Amino acid sequence: MANCSLLLLLIACLFVDCSLGLTLSLKLVHRFSDEAKSLWKSTRTGNVSAKFWPPRNSLKYFQMLLDYDLKRRRLKIGSKYDMLFPSEGSQVIFFGNEFNWLHYTWIDIGTPRVPFLVALDVGSDLLWVPCDCVQCAPLSASYYSVLDRDLSEYNPALSSTSKHLFCGHQLCAWSTTCKSPNDPCTYKRDYYSDNTSTSGYMIEDKLHLTSFSKHGTHSLLQASVVLGCGRKQSGSYLDGAAPDGVMGLGPGNISVPTLLAQEGLVRNTFSLCFDNNGSGRIIFGDDGPATQQTTQFLPLFGEFAAYFIGVESFCVGSSCLQRSGFQALVDSGSSFTYLPAEVYKKIVFEFDKQVKFNATRIVLQELPWNYCYNLSTLVSFNIPSMKLVFPLNQIFIHDPVYILPANQGYKVFCLTLEETDEDYGVIGQNLMVGYRMVFDRENLKLGWSKSKCLDINSSTTEHAKPPSNNGNAKSPIALPPTNRQAIAPTAARTSSKSSLSASYFSPLLLLLLAAFLVACWIC
CATH superfamily of 293-450: Acid Proteases (2.40.70.10)
Amino acid symbol at 149: R
Enclosing H/E stretch for 331:
none
Q: Do 83-266 and 293-450 agree at the fold level?
A: yes
The whole-number pLDDT of residue 409 equals 67
**Residues acting as catalytic residues:** 121, 331
pLDDT tens figures, 203-241: 999 999 999 876 667 899 999 999 999 999 999 999 889
Report pLDDT for 212.
85
Mean pLDDT by 10 residues, the chain (523 residues): 47 44 52 63 50 64 60 56 94 88 94 97 95 96 92 98 94 83 92 86 97 80 97 93 96 96 96 89 95 94 91 94 94 90 96 91 86 79 90 89 74 90 92 94 96 67 42 36 35 28 36 44 46
Fold classification of 83-266 (topology level):
Cathepsin D, subunit A; domain 1 (2.40.70)
Strand intervals (E) in 24-152: 83-86, 91-94, 103-109, 114-121, 127-135
Predicted pLDDT of residue 455? 67
Beta 326-330 vs 425-427: how paired, if at all? parallel
Per the CB < 8 A criterion, the answer to whether 133 and 238 are in contact is no
Q: Please give the span between the terminal C-alpha atoms of the chain, in angstroms, as a whole number.
A: 6
CB burial of residue 38 (10 Å; 0-12, 13-18, 19+) = exposed
Q: How many Å apart are CA 124 and CA 485, to the nearest integer?
A: 6
Q: What's the count of helices (H) and strands (E) in the chain, helices before strands?
A: 6, 29
Distance between CA atoms of residues 311 and 394, nearest Å: 10
Structure confidence at residue 37 (pLDDT):
63
Q: b/e for 202-222, b at 16 or more Cβ within 10 A?
A: bbbbbbbbbbbeeeeeeeeeb
Nearest alpha carbon to residue 491 among 438, 443, 426, 441: 441
**What pLDDT, on a 0 to 100 scale, did the predictor assign at position 177?**
84
What value does the CA radius of gyration of the chain take, rounded to a whole number of Å?
Answer: 27
Query: Other CB atoms closer than 10 Å to residue 114's CB: what's the count?
Result: 18
Q: pTM to 2 decimals?
A: 0.74
β-pair partners for 130 = 230
Angular region, 202: left φ>0, alpha ψ -120 to 50, beta rest: beta
Dist. CA 106–CA 117, nearest whole Å: 5
Report the chain's mean pLDDT, rounded to a whole number: 79
Phi-psi region of 393 (alpha: psi -120 to 50; beta: other; left: phi over 0): left
Q: How many angstroms separate the Cα of 170 from the Cα of each of 31, 256, 357?
A: 22, 16, 61
Domain positions in the chain = 83-266, 293-450
